[in-house]
Chain A
Amino acid sequence: DTAVSQTPKYLVTQMGNDKSIKCEQNLGHDTMYWYKQDSKKFLKIMFSYNNKELIINETVPNRFSPKSPDKAHLNLHINSLELGDSAVYFCASSQELAGGRELFFGEGSRLTVL
Chain B
Amino acid sequence: AQSVTQLGSHVSVSEGALVLLRCNYSSSVPPYLFWYVQYPNQGLQLLLKYTSAATLVKGINGFEAEFKKSETSFHLTKPSAHMSDAAEYFCAVSQNSGYSTLTFGKGTMLLVSP
Contacts and interface: CB of A to CB of B under 8 A. Distances in A.
Interface of A: 4, 33, 40-45, 48, 50, 55-56, 90, 92, 97-100, 102-103, 105-108
B102 A45 contact: yes
Given A103-B46, A106-B43, A56 B99 contact: yes
A6 B71 CA distance: 39
A40 B9 CA distance: 10
A17 to B, nearest CB: 24
Interface of B: 32, 34, 38, 41-46, 49, 51, 88, 90, 94-97, 99-104, 106-107
Contacts of B106: 40-42
A53 B32 CA distance: 24
Contact of A41 (B32, B43, B88, B95): B88
Contact of B100 (A92, A99, A105): A99
Given A45-B103, A56-B101, A90-B43, 13 more contacts: A40-B106, A41-B107, A42-B106, A43-B90, A45-B101, A48-B101, A97-B101, A99-B96, A99-B97, A100-B49, A102-B49, A105-B44, A107-B43
